[in-house]
Amino acid sequence: MSLGQKVAENLPYLRRYARALTGSQKTGDAFVRATLEAALADDELKSSLEGGRVPLYRAFNKLWESAHVEIDDAAPSSGEHEAGAQSSLQVITPVHRQALLLTTLEDFTVAQAAIIMGLKTDEVDALVNQAISEIDREQATSVLIIEDEPLISMQLEDLVSSLGHEVCGTAATRTQAREAVGKATPGLVLADIQLADGSSGLDAVDDILADSKVPVIFITAYPERLLTGDRPEPTYLVTKPFQEKTVRAAISQALFFGSSQPIA
């Protein structure tokens, strides 16, 4: 496999990480682009990317750490709840957020995250714990679960309840999702992409967002289908099969970044 193919294979996931780190598709993609441009201009850096995902994320993190303030000050894009994300980012310490996302959303081991961040493993552990303390300040909210697999739906219900939130409804189709929202407006949506009757979780979410600005976490076995750059992309995207700690971290961040958005 060529270097270009290796990088292309990992690029959708790096873009996911960048978007979650910055709270903005536009800003995240700007950092990814800058990382690739830096690699093209530096033979040593370019050669290091032969090592796969860890050195690619390490290159990205080095650039983010040195420039995030300047890029965060750029005009925010029009993506869902990104304006709230940009102001909220000033509160959470960036290095804590990096550690949390790397070990949850991106599923790196603590040792791998330490290499990416240039830290010791115990330092990464401490940062993750501090990040959870920093962002776990949200009041309990109501959650709509759009998922057509009963076992996964029940697992998500248990997880949501254990975090102190209320499940205001479950849906296996786009129609059921519309009916659920008609009864109660959720404060958070967890949505699969492919639903029971062949309808789309993306369409179901579009229906909801047409009337209210609510944080959404997509949970799918095919994240690469959403991370194409062809349309506004979800900020929070969890890959199936998922670890509960990954969903838990995504919920905390989604509520934090969406907390400044009014719920209609």
Q: Domain spanning 1-77 has what CATH number? A: 1.10.1740.10
Question: pLDDT of 24-80, one tens digit each?
Answer: 888 889 999 999 999 999 999 999 999 999 999 999 999 988 875 444 444 444 344
CATH T-level topology, domain 142-244: Rossmann fold (3.40.50)
* Portions of the chain given CATH number 3.40.50.2300: 142-244
Mean pLDDT of the chain: 83
Residue in the structure block whose two tokens are 């969406």 = 258
- Percent of the residues in the chain that have a pLDDT greater than 70, as a whole number: 80
* Portions of the chain given CATH number 1.10.1740.10: 1-77
Q: Is the pTM of this model over 0.85?
A: no
188, pLDDT greater than 80? yes
pLDDT grade, residue 257 (50/70/90)?
low
Identify whether the C-beta of residue 61 lies closer than 8 Å to the C-beta of residue 116.
yes
What are the contacts of 202-211 at 24+ separation with CB within 8 A? 202/226, 203/174, 204/146, 204/171, 204/173, 204/174, 204/177, 204/178, 205/146, 207/174, 207/177, 207/178, 207/181, 208/144, 208/177, 208/181, 209/80, 211/181, 211/264
pLDDT of residue 124: 96
Question: pLDDT of 205-232, one tens digit each?
Answer: 999 988 888 999 999 887 776 766 655 5
